[in-house]
Every structure is written in structure tokens, then in C-alpha cells.
Structure 1
Amino acid sequence: MKTGFKRAAAPLALFTLAALLAGCGGDSDSGSKKVTVWMYPVIADPKASSAYWAQIEADFEKAAPGTSLTIEQQPWENRDQKIATAFGGGKGPDVVLLTPDQIPQFSASGAISPVDGALKASVGKFLPAALDAMKQKGKIYGAPIYQTITTTVYNKKLLTAAGVATPPGTWDEIKAAAPKLKKNGVALLDYSASNEASLNLNFYPLLWQAGGSVFAEDGKKAAFNSPEGVEALTFLADLYKAGSVPRSSMTNTNLLADQALGKQQAAMGFSVVLADAELAAKTWGPENVVVGAPLRGPAKEVAFGIPGALSVNAKSGNAAGAEKFLAFMTEPEQVKSLGRASGYFSPRTDVTVPNASPYAKQYQAALADVSPGEPNPAARQLMGLLAPEIQAALAGKKSPKEALDSAAKAADDLLARQR
């Protein structure tokens, strides 16, 4: 069903888009054409989400006369299974919101189509990482409409009490500052080692900072047990052994309020989203929150962040209309309006989303060092194999090399089965 009401009139700018949108896809049928979209709660407040997408329906139909748009709100729960079932049955929506880790699976199976045509007028205006995350074999399979980013957040009160005047922004600075915090009974670096926590938000950034990668270049073997991977896990395990990564990390699931960082028992997080920085300001006091650049390792400075992108069902009955909608949603006005409504950032280099947060500029700057991860059809299954081995290394049951080698063997078997 439709998400809601329509406006009586659309902004003048939308009418100027009509000519552009009419050129997408080449569908000359003058009859009414339907486009159905599966959207997810990227706007946290349900009422605000419904109102926003209802407005998008109305605005798009004004800009693309003859096309009927229906945006269906879907829950995050069981998202992968529901999409796969719909695509597998030759059904599903014309357009669906996907993230980078879903692209390899659905593009390899032929469930989604390349969207290069919908982006031909704007392809050079996106963050390189945002488009790279959506590419498979040189083709773009998702049109980015928003971008997430994480970076470092520090508790100034805890650092100052320990005599640490400058927030540590490199691995070496963390090693130097950690004993000072320990003397005050506080951990320096919070971490999430639970099996339910995404490695994109904990171990993988450290791996990338060391110069390593999760997969070999061809994607057919694991590469995280490289010397760089061992260096990253050794760095983490040594901090844990010294008490500078809290013991509670073993059950942390990337939820700041429930973790040592949120409870002011650790002074630093290195994969923190803007919403959690703002939550910290409410609980610690804004004077105690410092947002820094992404953490720098031995090789580079990098933080995790992903685009959300619209993909087209390969079996859509109205591919031309679907492409028109992708072109519409990636225009600057829609990128700005979605960013304002969701709190996310722009995936375009020529568009900055206005944000009243006092930390927005630091997060915006961190986009220069963003990594979307390493999409692979087996990426999520591989995390399930690696996470317990990281726990084993932290607990001292295995050396970092033993843990990573064990996980790599299981990962290589998994990848071999999927060829």
C-alpha cells in the first residue's frame, strides 16, 4: 500500500528534474507504470519515516508523470531471508535498499541488475568508496543514497585524570597511554568481541589499519592471517591481557550504552557512530566528549562506514521506472532531505548534509578515510568462523597466529565450497 498522503503541489525544482528522469531507461509507454520499493528504518522515528517517504512518493510522481510509486516499509529483522525468498521466487519489489555485503550474493545470482544507466549523469560525483562498495566485475549494482561513518570518541575526563593531555590517535600512542589509565583503574580502549558483534566495527578496522585484508584479491581465500593480521590481533590481545581493553569486551555487541565506554569505564572507542557520540554527551556531559579522526595503525588511517543503496530487481516489470526512481533519489535535493531526516551523511562529494550536531564536522571529515569493508558472498559466514578465534586469542587460549590460522583454514574450506 501507499505510505501515506500526497501534497497538492511539488517544488519548482522537481519539475526541472522531469526532463532528466524522462531520459532514464527508454520506456516509451505512456500508460501508468507502477514502481514498488522496499525501504527499511533508516529514519528511526516511525512517524517521521512514514511522513518522509509519503512525501517522496508525491514528489517523485510529480517529477515523473505516469509513474506510480509505492514505498513499502520493511523491518530490519530477517531482511536477508525475505529478500532472497522474494528474488528466488521471481517476485519482490522493483527496487530494494541494499548494503555492500548483500551486493555480491544478489548480483552473482542474477537477482539484481547493474544500475550504471541510472547514474550516468552523476557517477563522478560520489565518494569513491561508496561506489566501489556497490561494484562487481566493473558494474555498479546499487545507487548510494546515504553514507554512514564511524570514528574515534574519547572521554576527556578520564584521559585528563590519568594525565593524558592529548587523545591517542595512533596505535603507538594507545600503547603509551594505556598504562596511565590502568593506574587509575580505567581501561583505555573499548572493544566488542561478542560473536553477535560485526567484525566490520571491531577487528576489521584494526586489520586494515595494519595494512591487511580479510580476503585475498580474488576473493577465493582468506587473507586475515597475514603478518599484518597477526600484528593487529597481537596489538589487541596485548591490550586485553594488560587490562587496557576491558574484560566486558567479550560480551560487548557494539551498543555504547551497555558497554564500558558508555559507562565511563573505558576512555576510548574507535568505531563510534555520530548518534552514540551525542548519547555520550548526554551521559558524560558535552565538555567530556572529544571526537577525533579515525584511528591510525602502522599502515594507514581508516574507519568503517557503508553506503545504503537502491538496487533494481532483475525481474522488475518496470525497470525503466525503477531507474527513474534511482536517478531521482540520488539527486542533491533528495540526498540532502534524506540526510536531514535520517542523520546519515551524503554519499556524494558535491553535497553536504546540514547537521546541527557539534560533532558533525569531525564525522564529515572522517569520510575521507572511510572503508566500506570487503564485500563477498561468504562475508557474514566468515565472520562467524573468525569471531570465536579472536575471543580465544584475547583469552590467551591461542596465540594470535594460531587463532587466525585456525580461522583461515575453516574460511578457506567455506570459500572452496561456494565456488
Structure 2
Amino acid sequence: MRKLRIFLLLIVVGMLIVGCSPDEEETSAPAEDGELSGEITVWAHPFTGEGDAEAKMWEEVIASYEEENGVTVNFEQIPWGNRDQKILTALAAGNGPDVFYAIPDQMPQYASEGLLLELDPYLKDFDMSDFVESSLVSTQWKDKTYGLPILQEAYTFFYNNKIVEAIGEDPENLPTTWAEFEEWSKKAKEEGYYSLSYPGGGSMNGTLYPWLWQNGGKVLTQDDEILINNEQGVETFEFINKMYEEGWIPEDSITAQEHNALWDGGEIMTILGSGITLSNLLAKDQIDFTIAPPLKKEEQVTYGTTGMFVVTKNSDNPSAAAEFVKTVTNSENQRKFNTVTQYIPTRKSAKDIFDDQEYLSQLSEYTQYALPGVIHPKGRSIMPAIQAEVQTMMEGKKTPQEAADAAAEGIQAELDK
């Protein structure tokens, strides 16, 4: 599958190189006011299980664009499975969309290969100040904007109030720093509870990365500078190792994908979660819980994905496509989209859709602290190398310094491919 993906990328890049000279790349410019016409094709994925409600939402969003601009939108909903291959294959065949939905680890891959249209020329008179600043992180590569965000998530700690009270603490006064969380973890252990769910077999976005960012660290810069084994990185490896050695996290944390049974059974004090966690808790109505702000050591930060719409470089109607991206992410349409999908709007002015929902309103406030992962073409492919070294450390086979250094070597190996 990896060979197929690389082959398709080479095909697409070759077509783009043949199809336009360097001079032509600089000539793409927005149409003048009133010049939009023709049609565009838009691809998006199903975001809910409510097909009728979602279809009605898209009808309204698309109608608002077509009426304003006189451009016909051909909308197609494509499945999440094999989306990379479908998009790349379509681009290679010359029948891809003008606009499609992308996530943070896709955008830099496509942008670095020259598959996306830079949107900055189309945003010169466009007010970006209403977007939550953190939501724009994943839309930019090498100081250029390739998408506009429509949704965010924010992962933070959900506390089991029964356990909080059992260790003599107050659910209304939850930890805000690493030091405070350490003290609570010790108390939880003393009372026979695990402090935290740490699914070490899952994504780095839900395990190592948030702690690294909170400690002021980074994995990798967009200029390929590897930072995971600097002082902040090693300290973070040490903290993860300490949680395991002290028994604050479950014994199977090295490879576990989740700890739902332990959490549901009232054995874990804290779980890192987002909107889906909230939905499950409210549906089951078994655990009395409180949601806490993201922790801080050097910085208050957490993980939270961002969803965006991007324009293909070979679009036959780039001005109309760019205008659609601006329209679909405006405040009114974000209200429509996120009311149906129950994701968090990336426009501050649209967050009022959750004003009467206590928990979603709280999570909505935390997107200002949410980073969408490692924004780099290799962001997805470096994860296994990092994960393997964290696991080796937790098994007691490497020190935190050795594991961090080996993770850096693994990242470099990926960069060299």
C-alpha cells in the first residue's frame, strides 16, 4: 500500500510539472469581483450517522454559495476508508475534485508535493481574525495557507468524581499543573486506584505528545529539526516512565489501545477525552464526572484535531473553489455544519451554538489550547518509531535518555527516505 501511494504521488507530481511551468505557477490569481462562473466539484466525508440531517445541512450550505456566486456545486460524499488513495488516484486521472476535506496529517503531505492551491492570494481582503488561532496551525505549511478550518476538537481530562472524593479532594478544584497532578496520582495509588488511562498502543496524539507540548517541547519542526530528545523531550520521557514505574497507570499501558473497562468499572480516576467521550458518558449515565482544563508545566496545551477544506492545485476553477472554501467556513455555515456534526466551530462567533450546553461549551473553550499533532509530511509515518521507543523504555530496556535519542534516530531515518 505504501508503494502504491508513493507511485501515485509521483504520477500526480509529474502531471503537475508537465502541466505548468514555474512561471505559470506564479500567474494563478483570484478572479475579479463578479467574474465567478461555471461549476466546481466538492468532496466531503460523512460526519454523522444522521444521513438525512447531514444531507439537508449540505443543501443549505451549498445553496448559500450558489445563490451568492452563480457557480454550480457538484457535491459528492466519499467514505473515510482509503481516502488518500481515492484522492490521489482521482488527481492522477485528472478527474479529482476542486475542493475536498482534509485532516492535519494529510495537508502537509499534499502541500509539500505541490498538490494544493495556496490560498493566501485569495485571502488578501478576507478577515481571518474570527478564527480561533490554534485552528489555523494545521492549515499552514512553510508559512503558506492551504486550507480554512471548519471544525476542531479539544482533548482534556475527565475526572471520576467518586474517586476524587475518595482520595480526599474536591471535584470543584481539579489539578491545573503537573505538580498538582502528581500529588493526586500518589493519593489515587494509595487508595487503590489508577490515576490515569495511558493507552500506549494508541496514537501518540493521545499519549506522549500532549505531555511533551505541556513541557514546552516539540517533536519536529517544519524545517526538519528534530527536538524530541532535547531537555524538554527527555524530561517528558522520564515523566511517562515514572507514571508507569509508580503504578499510576495500568500494567498493560505499554501496549493497550484503551482502558474503557477499567474506566467504566471505576478503577481509573482520569481519562483523556473529547466530544465522543462526553457523548458516551452522557449516554451511559453511570459515572459522575467533571471536565478539567488542560494541564500545564511550561505551557497550557493539549491535543485536538482540526478539519479543513482545501483546493486542488489543478482545479479548473480555482477562484470559485477558493470562494467556496471561504463560504463553507464562514460563521453562519459553521453554525449549520457543527450543529449537525456536534464538532466545535473554528470561528469564535459560531461557538454560541453550544451556549446552552454546559459540557460542550466548556470543551469549546479549550480549543484555544489544542494542537493538531505534528504538522509535517512525515507526521504520520514517524509515530511508530517514537511509540516503539517509549514502549521499550516502559519495559525497562532503555533509559528515558536512550529512548528519546533512539526516537530521534528513528525520525531521522524516516526523513531520509
Aligning the two structures, in what range does the TM-score lie when normalised by the shorter sequence?
0.7 to 0.9
* Aligned residue identity for 1:179: K
Partner of 1:354, secondary structure, is helix
2:9 aligned partner? none
SS of match in other structure, 1:174: helix
Q: Is the 8 A contact 2:142 2:222 kept in 1?
A: no
Query: Residues 266-281 of structure 1 correspond to what in structure 2 (within 5 A)?
Result: 266-269=268-271, 271-281=272-282
Mapped to 2, the partners of 1:131 and 1:289 lie a distance apart of 31
Separation of aligned partners in 2, 1:24 and 1:252:
50
Structure 1: segments with no counterpart, 5+ residues: 1-22
> Offset of 1:192 from its aligned partner?
1.6
Structure 2 unpaired stretches of 5+: 1-28
Alignment-derived partner of residue 293 in structure 2: 293
User: Is the 8 Å Cα contact of residues 25 and 117 (structure 1) preserved in structure 2?
Assistant: no
Q: Which residue of 2 aligns with 1:368?
A: 368
Deviation at 1:24, TM superposition (A): 6.2
Task: Tell me what 1:123 maps to.
Answer: 128
CA distances 1:159-194 after superposition (whole Å, capped 9, x unpaired): 111223343332112221222212332100111211
What letter corresponds to residue 198 of structure 2 in structure 1? Y
| Equivalent residue pairs, number | 385
- 2:36–2:69: 8 Å Cα contact kept in structure 1? no
Q: Distance in 2 between matches of 1:252 and 1:50?
A: 37
Give, in angstroms, the shift of residue 412 of structure 1.
Answer: 0.9
Contact 1:248–1:259 (8 Å) recurs in 2: no
Using the alignment, how far apart are the partners of 1:25 and 1:279 within structure 2? 47
Query: Post-superposition shift, 1:292?
Result: 0.9
The aligned amino acid for 1:37 is V
Residue 117 of structure 1 and its aligned partner are, at CA, apart by: 4.0
Q: Does the 8 Å contact 2:199/2:255 carry over to 1?
A: yes
Equivalent positions of 1:320-339 (< 5 A) are: 320-339=319-338
Paired position in structure 1 for 2:163: 158
Which amino acid in the other structure matches residue 344 of structure 1? Y
Q: State percent identity of aligned pairs.
A: 29
Inter-partner Cα distance in structure 1 for 2:279 and 2:88: 36
Q: TM-score, normalised by structure 2?
A: 0.86
Equivalent in 61, 83, 87 of residue 87 of structure 2: 83
What displacement does 1:132 show? Answer: 2.8
What TM-score comes out, normalization by structure 1 length?
0.85
User: How far apart, in 2, do the equivalents of 1:222 and 1:181 lie?
Assistant: 36
2:145 counterpart letter in structure 1: I
Partner of 1:26: 32
| Distance in 1 (alpha carbons) for counterparts of 2:254 and 2:58 | 39
**1:275-323 superposed Cα distances (whole Å, 9 cap, x missing partner):** 312322443546x2100100112x1111112321110011111212212
Output the aligned Cα RMSD.
2.3
| Structure 1 residues 361 and 28: alpha-carbon distance in aligned structure 2, compared to 1, 3 A threshold | closer
Query: How has the CA–CA distance of structure 1 residues 296 and 316 changed in structure 2, closer, same or farther, with 3 Å as cutoff?
Result: same
Deviation per CA, 1:218-252: give whole Å up to 9, x if none: 53242111121111121111111221111233343
Deviation at 1:29, TM superposition (A): 6.4
Any idea what SS the aligned residue of 1:336 has?
helix
SS at match of 2:336: helix
Deviation sequence 1:139-174 (CA, Å, 0-9, x none): 210011122211221111111112233433321122
CA contact (8 A) 1:115 1:142 kept: yes
- Three-state SS of the structure 2 residue aligned to 1:373 is coil
Counterpart amino acid of residue 332 in structure 2: E
Q: Which moved more, 1:274-283 or 1:304-313?
A: 274-283
1:111 maps to 115
Equivalent residue, structure 2, for 1:173: 180
Distance in 1, matches of 2:381 and 2:375, equals: 12
Residue identity matched to 1:372: P
Q: Give the 3 Å change call, closer, same or farther, for CA 116–262 of structure 1 in structure 2.
A: farther
Residue 99, structure 1, aligned to residue 95, structure 2: no
Range with bigger deviation, 128-137 or 386-395: 128-137
Contact 2:36 2:319 in 1 (8 A): no
Q: 2:73 matched to 1:69? A: yes
Residues 88-130 of structure 1, C-alpha deviation per residue, up to 9 Å, x if partnerless? 4443111011122222111111111012244432222212222
Matched, 1:140 2:145: yes
Q: Distance in 2 between matches of 1:353 and 1:340?
A: 10
Shift in Å, 1:63:
2.5
Native 8 Å contact 1:44 1:342 kept in 2? no
The answer as to whether partners of 1:189 and 1:267 remain within 8 angstroms in 2 is yes
**For the residues of structure 2 that align with 1:135 and 1:214, how far apart are their CA atoms?**
17
Structure 2 counterpart of 1:190: 197
Quick one: distance in 1 between partners of 2:341 and 2:252? Answer: 31
Following the alignment from structure 2 to structure 1, what is the Cα–Cα distance between the partners of residues 36 and 228?
54
Task: Give the conservation status (yes or no) of the 8 Å contact 1:221–1:411.
Answer: no
Q: Which amino acid aligns with 1:57?
A: I
Shift of the 378–151 alpha-carbon distance from structure 1 to 2, 3 Å rule, reads: same
Quick check: 1:227 aligned with 2:220? no
Aligned to 1:204: 209
Distance 1:352 1:106 in 2: 30
